[in-house]
Amino acid sequence: MTAATITPSGAGAGQRGQPGPGLQPGWGVSPERQQAIAEVLGALVPPAGRLAPTQLRAVTAGLAARHGLWADLVVRDPDVRWYLPLHRSNSCDVWLLAWECGQDTDWHDHGGSAGSFAVAEGCLVEQYRAPSGRRIARRRLPASEAVAFGPAHVHNVAHGGDGSATSIHAYSPPLMAMTYYSATEYGLIARETVAVDGPEGARGRGGVGTALAAASASAARLSPDSLPADAPSIDELLAEARSGLARLRPEAAFAVLTDGAVLVDIRPLEQRIAEGEIPGAVIIGRNVLEWRLDPRSEARIPPLARADAQIIVMCSEGYASTLAAATLRRIGLREATDLDGGFQAWKAAGLPTRPAQPPG
Ligand SMILES: [Fe+2]
């Protein structure tokens, strides 16, 4: 089971603190405590620059051993995984996490960050992708154990043992994005990358005062000044593309497939593996689509690259397919359109699907 994670300002938050160096207000760590943590870190690692995994291990193990710095801050919540940021600088961020039975993170990496975590109380179990390739390794980490890893590390951390667990996590540079993975028979397949404001499975559920909210506000402030006045937003671009297409719902698309239309699946392999495929669909990667379907292209697929070809572009949910179909119209394929709702709507309609076919 994957438990949701709340921000410290959410229902499971502990005490509220005052703003301090490096952390947003309302995050529950007093300035005095932040100062004490910063002093401990200052004795362990350099104050600036990217920290190596061994340095991050010194941070997490050092703080995990100092219960007085964090033990009174922990909130135990059996329903929602709880965390609290303890420290943030340009070089690293440090987090306090609590774990209850059944809680885990799902498979993920840490963007471009190296990391470490130390078990301070209880026990955690880490599954991780072995550096050699597809093999999955597993290690049980009782209290006082600490592990460290580079940016390529992909893992799934879970509560282990009987009682509650507590851990200290550190990342360098500070954690900004995580990619989630699906465990498939082909190995771990990247599923999605999300911006995060918390560690180990926090999925961008940021509220007012969180790092994510601050980053979003900053981006919103930048946009009007930094973009050309006539540049359409992606929503406007999508609406414009859709205004020129007679999009097909799955049932209508299924009906015309027997009439000479061709369904073109532009989803990447990892998405087809995770979601499944549609029998009879032609797979053409989005990155080569126009070159395969332009009748003037040397790389064209002759039976499909015709001005009157009834191409129905399909992606997962029917967004990227719209833009692709509009581009095909621009290069002269006047019958091109896309599948409204994509593979997800097709599957929901009960139309035929099958597991992805093995590569090669
Ligand atoms: Fe992680």
| Model pLDDT, residue 61 | 97
Contact 135, 113 (CB under 8 A): no
Residue 10 has pLDDT above 80, yes or no: no
| Model pLDDT, residue 358 | 61
Q: How far is the CA of 160 from the centre of ligand 1 (A)?
A: 16
Least confident interval from 19-33, 152-166, 212-226, 320-334: 212-226
Q: How far is the CA of 6 from the centre of ligand 1 (A)?
A: 16
pTM: 0.68
DSSP helix/strand/coil, 344: helix
pLDDT tens-place string over residues 341-350: 999 999 999 9
| Model pLDDT, residue 316 | 97
pLDDT tens-place string over residues 173-196: 998 888 888 888 778 888 888 877
Contact 322, 242 (CB under 8 A): yes
Contact 148, 53 (CB under 8 A): yes
The Cα–Cα gap between 293 and 291 comes to 6
The Cα–Cα gap between 162 and 193 comes to 32
Q: How far is the CA of 133 from the centre of ligand 1 (A)?
A: 18
Q: How far is the CA of 114 from the centre of ligand 1 (A)?
A: 10
Within 8 A by CB and 6+ apart from 93, the residues are 85, 87, 170, 171, 174, 175, 199
The Cα–Cα gap between 116 and 299 comes to 48
| Model pLDDT, residue 34 | 87
Provide the token pair at 244: 């020129």
Q: Which of residues 98 and 22 earns the better pLDDT score?
A: 98
| Model pLDDT, residue 229 | 84
b/e map 46-73, b = 16+ CB within 10 Å: eeeeebebebbbbbbbbbbeeeebbeeb
Q: Quick one: average pLDDT of 5-23?
A: 36
Q: How far is the CA of 41 from the centre of ligand 1 (A)?
A: 21
Task: Output the average pLDDT for the chain.
Answer: 85
Provide the token pair at 228: 């050309």
Residue 15 has pLDDT above 60, yes or no: no
Q: How far is the CA of 117 from the centre of ligand 1 (A)?
A: 8
pLDDT tens-place string over residues 272-306: 988 999 999 999 999 999 999 999 999 999 999 99
Q: How far is the CA of 183 from the centre of ligand 1 (A)?
A: 16
Q: How far is the CA of 157 from the centre of ligand 1 (A)?
A: 7
DSSP helix/strand/coil, 220: helix
Q: How far is the CA of 49 from the centre of ligand 1 (A)?
A: 21
Q: What is the dihedral of CA 153, 159, 164, 170, to 10 degrees?
A: 10
| Model pLDDT, residue 188 | 86
The Cα–Cα gap between 342 and 12 comes to 38
Confidence of residue 13 (pLDDT cuts 50, 70, 90): very low
Q: How far is the CA of 126 from the centre of ligand 1 (A)?
A: 9
| Model pLDDT, residue 182 | 87
Within 8 A by CB and 6+ apart from 329, the residues are 244, 245, 336
| Model pLDDT, residue 27 | 60
Contact 63, 40 (CB under 8 A): yes
CB atoms within 10 A of CB 27: 24
Q: How far is the CA of 248 from the centre of ligand 1 (A)?
A: 41
Residue 336 has pLDDT above 50, yes or no: yes
pLDDT tens-place string over residues 91-117: 999 999 999 998 999 999 999 899 999
pLDDT tens-place string over residues 213-247: 555 455 555 555 678 888 999 999 999 999 999 99
pLDDT tens-place string over residues 23-37: 554 466 788 888 999
Q: Which of residues 5 and 63 earns the better pLDDT score?
A: 63
Confidence of residue 131 (pLDDT cuts 50, 70, 90): confident
